[in-house]
Amino acid sequence: MTLRKKKFAKKKEEILHSAINIIAERGYHGTTMEDIASNLFITKGSLYYYFKDKQELVFQSQIMLLLRSIDNMIAVQLEDILIAEKLRKAMRVHVTYLLRERSGFEMMIQPDHLFSKQQLEEIVSLREQYGTYFDQMINDGIEEKVFHVTDSKIVRNIILGAMNWVTQWYSPKGKKDVTEIADTIADHLMRVVIKN
Amino acid sequence: MTLRKKKFAKKKEEILHSAINIIAERGYHGTTMEDIASNLFITKGSLYYYFKDKQELVFQSQIMLLLRSIDNMIAVQLEDILIAEKLRKAMRVHVTYLLRERSGFEMMIQPDHLFSKQQLEEIVSLREQYGTYFDQMINDGIEEKVFHVTDSKIVRNIILGAMNWVTQWYSPKGKKDVTEIADTIADHLMRVVIKN
DNA sequence: CAGAAAATTGACTTGACGTTTAAAAACTGA
DNA sequence: TCAGTTTTTAAACGTCAAGTCAATTTTCTG
């Protein structure tokens, strides 16, 4: 009974992981159900036992990614450290997560036409929630007078953009490993907010 | 004779523009030849009179965008102003170009699987050329001791990322217009490099 | 204005891929 | 072991879009 359900849930997750990986590589349209399935050594027909259709499958992957990133941020949020250190840590976590998971970042870019209105609303809301953690930290820093005063929304977007772009240029073959890159990026971006 | 060729070239350009716009909206796979054609009130058959296939058409669009951005940078490069001002100007130009043209930015992200090896090489090379202008400015600033010393490649990527991301969040409905956004972003990003 | 060249059309072919379905296989609990 | 249930499969279907091409229209030129 519960065993069955657990297996079902586990398989579902496996499929989502497969989807995330392949879509990260080839984009939504470039990824076929066949691709996702064969990656797990099953036939594409099976996918429909777990998900209504491709859109739903991809949507779930997206949500999964977002929820995980949010969890990351919550963990950082809870730490009891100076605000500047907290923001720096958030940056490091964000970048390493991005590079380690190679997360279906592709999808995060203009998902507008891939999903239904309802699905989009959910995605946008989660994205916004994620961004809010950064706003919060920035505002805290401003209040504590360690960050210079600015429009936290814009600063947040600058920071997120600089970080997200890392997937475009980072190569594991370079001199720096993921952690070092994350540190370097965080160091540079702290300069955007910190008072001098 | 030359008239003919001019018309041919002009039509080709029109098609490229159409392609750029639609692909910017719907992505490569989401855009059909039919879409590109009907946008110009012609049939898709005509497209094949001008371009060998879809890949070639899209490739040309991409090149067109890149060449135009590079022209922008060359113009900035030639200006006789202080290096810090030059970099700031480059940033402003980059962001306004991005937002104004809504350029087929979509394509610029992981075009890996859309193009042939040869095509990719050309794209990567142009991208790199573009990035080099920024490296140059950053290095100049370091030499003149107005920018603090860092790895210019990484700083360049941070800056480009922060700027490119603007297409994801900027809404013309907001308070700031394109120029203001460009200025604000440039101001913030200057803090990454400038000595304090 | 006539003939040639260029440009456009639209119907057709082809292949790919999402989705459905009926049957087979695997699994579960008694 | 076996009946019943869940899961997987293989094949087929329908759709959609890329690419082709012979026929037609438009444009140019002498």
The number of residues in chain A equals 196
The Cα–Cα gap between B10 and B19 comes to: 14
Within 10 Å of residue B176's Cβ, how many Cβ atoms?
A: 15
Å from the B49 CA to the D22 C1': 15
Q: How many structural domains comprise chain B?
A: 1
Q: What pLDDT score does A81 carry?
A: 94
% of residues, chain B, pLDDT over 90:
64
* Average pLDDT rounded to a whole number, residues B48-60: 95
B188 Cβ under 8 Å from any chain A Cβ? yes
Whether residue A60 is contained in a domain is answered as: yes
Q: What pLDDT score does B105 carry?
A: 61
* Average pLDDT rounded to a whole number, residues A140-157: 95
B160 Cβ under 8 Å from any chain A Cβ? yes
Q: Is the pLDDT of residue B141 over 70?
A: yes
B151 Cβ partners below 8 Å, 6+ apart? A184
Q: Give B25 to chain A, closest Cα distance, Å.
A: 8
Q: Is the pLDDT of residue B20 over 80?
A: yes
Whether residue A69 is contained in a domain is answered as: yes
Whether residue A92 is contained in a domain is answered as: yes
Whether residue B48 is contained in a domain is answered as: no
The Cα–Cα gap between B179 and B184 comes to: 9
Secondary structure element (H or E) that encloses residue B12, with its range: helix B2-30
Secondary structure element (H or E) that encloses residue A3, with its range: helix A2-30
Q: What pLDDT score does A160 carry?
A: 93
Residues of A in contact with B158 (CB under 8 A): 162, 165, 185, 188-189
Mean model confidence pLDDT for chain A: 89
| Nearest nucleotide (C1') to alpha carbon of B51 | D19
Within 10 Å of residue A96's Cβ, how many Cβ atoms?
A: 18
* Average pLDDT rounded to a whole number, residues B83-97: 93
Classified as helix, coil or strand, A52 is coil
* Average pLDDT rounded to a whole number, residues A57-64: 91
* Chain D bases near protein Cβ (<7 Å): 6-11, 16-22, 28-29
Å from the A46 CA to the C28 C1': 20
Q: What pLDDT score does A120 carry?
A: 85
Q: Taking CB atoms and an 8 Å limit, are A184 and B154 in contact across chains?
A: yes
* Average pLDDT rounded to a whole number, residues A143-168: 93
Whether residue A135 is contained in a domain is answered as: yes
Structure tokens at B26: 């719907």
Whether residue A141 is contained in a domain is answered as: yes
Q: By CA distance, what is A171's nearest residue in B?
A: B154
Å from the A54 CA to the C6 C1': 45
Q: Taking CB atoms and an 8 Å limit, are B113 and A26 in contact across chains?
A: yes
Q: Is the pLDDT of residue B109 over 70?
A: no
Compare A63 and A2 and report the one with higher pLDDT: A63
Residues of B in contact with A26 (CB under 8 A): 113
Whether residue B119 is contained in a domain is answered as: yes
* Average pLDDT rounded to a whole number, residues B56-81: 92
Q: By CA distance, what is A176's nearest residue in B?
A: B154
Q: Is the pLDDT of residue A16 over 80?
A: yes
Q: By CA distance, what is A183's nearest residue in B?
A: B154
* Average pLDDT rounded to a whole number, residues B180-192: 95
The Cα–Cα gap between A30 and B74 comes to: 35
Number of helices followed by number of strands (H, E) in chain A: 10, 0
CATH number of the domain residue A130 falls in:
1.10.357.10
Which of B61, B70, B58, B64 lies closest to B116 in space, CA to CA?
B58
Å from the A52 CA to the D19 C1': 32
B163 Cβ under 8 Å from any chain A Cβ? yes
Q: What pLDDT score does A115 carry?
A: 83
* Average pLDDT rounded to a whole number, residues A3-29: 88
Distance in angstroms between the alpha carbons of the first and the last residue of chain B: 61
Compare B186 and A107 and report the one with higher pLDDT: B186
Which of B64, B192, B193 lies closest to A158 in space, CA to CA?
B192
The Cα–Cα gap between A94 and A72 comes to: 8
Residues of A in contact with B160 (CB under 8 A): 165
Q: Is the pLDDT of residue A168 over 90?
A: no
Whether residue A87 is contained in a domain is answered as: yes
Structure tokens at B60: 């040309």
Q: What pLDDT score does A150 carry?
A: 93
The Cα–Cα gap between A163 and A31 comes to: 26
% of residues, chain B, pLDDT over 70:
93
Q: What pLDDT score does A104 carry?
A: 58
Q: Taking CB atoms and an 8 Å limit, are B162 and A159 in contact across chains?
A: yes
Q: What pLDDT score does B108 carry?
A: 62
Its domain, for residue B137, covers 53-193
Q: Is the pLDDT of residue A106 over 60?
A: no
Q: What pLDDT score does A108 carry?
A: 61
Q: What pLDDT score does B196 carry?
A: 80
Q: How confident is the model at residue B106 (pLDDT cuts 50, 70, 90)?
A: low
Instruction: Give the amino acid at B66.
Output: L
* Nearest CB to A109 within list B109, B154, B196: B109
Q: How confident is the model at residue B45 (pLDDT cuts 50, 70, 90)?
A: very high
